[in-house]
Amino acid sequence: QKEVEQDPGPLSVPEGAIVSLNCTYSNSAFQYFMWYRQYSRKGPELLMYTYSSGNKEDGRFTAQVDKSSKYISLFIRDSQPSDSATYLCAMSAPYGNNRLAFGKGNQVVVIP
């Protein structure tokens, strides 16, 4: 079983819809959870950062962490064509080599 599972299947939504993305993980030591956004032929940029469980909201973006289920989510409200990108989840533990474990990424296309 991979440490982080993220369904890479492309997701197409109409403009204005809510986009829902998620990742599951197996390592219960993970405490730091991130979402990166990557536009085509660009490097990933940090979009959301959450420590431990709970929700975090930033504008149209909401990140949720459910440690009991080992499940994290990213919601994008009122999606825009500019949200078309690949979204990668990432997470790390507070000890050890501190390397991030990444999901494979989820391509999102918002259709005008």
Q: List contacts with another protein (CB under 8 A).
A: 6, 8, 31-32, 34, 36, 41-46, 49, 88, 90, 92, 94, 97-100, 102-105
Q: What minimum distance in Å lies between the beta carbon of 37 and another protein?
A: 11
- Closer of 32 and 75 to another protein (Cβ): 32
> What DSSP element (H or E) covers 20?
strand 19-25
**Residue 40 neighbours by CB under 8 Å, 6+ apart:** 85, 86
Q: What minimum distance in Å lies between the beta carbon of 38 and another protein?
A: 8
> What DSSP element (H or E) covers 110?
strand 106-111
Q: Which two tokens stand for residue 85?
A: 């990108």
Q: What minimum distance in Å lies between the beta carbon of 12 and another protein?
A: 17
Beta bridge partners of 25: 4
Q: What minimum distance in Å lies between the beta carbon of 25 and another protein?
A: 14
- Closer of 88 and 108 to another protein (Cβ): 88
Please answer whether residues 19 and 13 qualify as being in contact, where contact means their C-beta atoms are separated by less than 8 angstroms: yes
- Closer of 82 and 98 to another protein (Cβ): 98
Q: What angle do CA 74, 78, 81 make, to 5 degrees?
A: 90
- Closer of 48 and 110 to another protein (Cβ): 48
